Structure 1
């Protein structure tokens, strides 16, 4: 395997590759940064450290930054806005609406009459005059997707949004949305240990020319080999994930050991190997691993320079086959639940 990994930050700044998402040609860094963990989901975070990580990302050429109005009930967008001061022209900002967190709990809202207000609130929190990629975070089952996307398209016409995306939409919803307005990107959980979108979502998205943006591409950190059940802090969403529990956890640990072994043989980290596998699935794939630490940001960025041959991919998939992973996932209003625990 030809790794071609840049060993220095300065060198990497000059070689970070880009990829194109969607029929309208949205250009983004080959590896993005998911910002959710800086505000929720993985225990306590430090804003100063998070902003330093965001700055390092931009310096490394990781300029595709993903947030949402629901992350920390607006905290994440405000944090990103602070970090982008003086750097707005260097980045592609993606944010999402549709999951609402408030004092009444969590709900999905895709009503077209509310889309504009959600967008304007995000613009204000981010401190920007436009959003590069605006996703519907989850499809509202009570609202035809054509109506929601129609309202999103009005924002494009007004210049408040440049490109549209969907998160966890079903294949039929992708079809209907794309018939209403071009969809640049579709976001799903996708990694070596969760591959269900390959059955139906992936072929549909590719037929429609929609780019794929995998979130949790490192299996919520599990594929790094550094996560165990006793590492979770209070408020860490992984504590309730069946894949991190009991016999599922033990089976999955054995598979991660194989990922670590193969990575060590190639002098890369398990995270880099897992991200390289996703990047090798096609030029329309742009993973957005999350991290709150600058050194992990640099590690993830280097994965863009790893080249896996077809033989390498076959070897990896033989060592950790899709069907061997154990446990179903929990994703709020995910596009479907298709696999029962092993």
Structure 2
């Protein structure tokens, strides 16, 4: 089996570590609906190439989130499924890929499939088959130690992708750990769900980021009441403009054990500030976003934001920390969060 060549993503600020994937089993359907069959050789099957990376928005509560991927399955629509179950890592073939999500925050990513030729068409889902339930495979390390990590039915079923004929496509699986990672009731293990995992066309994705004034971590009654001003700070991103501040909600799902207000708006994404040693300041970044209109909100009181239950804490906090931004495809928008609330 010939492994695909490994390349490093050249996009600015992306620290891509190249892993290549060999196609263990590919079933190619004949030319049919969903792609163009017009060519000089009418019997040929149109193909395109896929590069797939993994990135995340990390959490302060954990130091490692290791996911062992056994298979990547592309579910075809009008074309056969593609199953990738042999990978090349460090110049050697392996049956699995082990990824510590915490190592690829912001714009950094790990390439797990590199320029793989596929039948052109629509793949309705990207399915990650996970080796889980055992600390020898997938696990989380928190302040108490190493704990097993489990996925829903040992797999994550994610949104699909499209591959055009004769073109190269780059997609990123963006794990919002503040939404997708949860601890079980007794704290002995963790659950990883597809909630909050975005599948984004990397070539046209956008990002927003900037610095955060440290004064915001302790300004106002809510923030100043914290014992540690550096704990519990998160930046939330919501779809759209002209949103009612009172409707902006923390992370929650339809499985919430607490009552969710009818008008509550769940965030699309969130991140925690990181201290930038180079500039001696606190920064944030939310990466791999589709182009569009967004509203940013800072909360200094998000320490107990449960990924499933509606918690109902104040957003934004401080109250002036609400920003409307618009990002175009490929943009890296800058919005510095200041006491004045002016995005400067």
Task: Identify whether the pair has TM-score above 0.5, normalized to the shorter chain.
Answer: no
Higher relative contact order (Cα pairs below 8 Å, separated by 6+ residues): 1
More helix per residue: 1
Structure number with bigger Rg: 2
TM-score, normalised relative to structure 2 = 0.27
**Whose strand proportion is higher, 1 or 2?**
2
TM-score by length of 1: 0.28
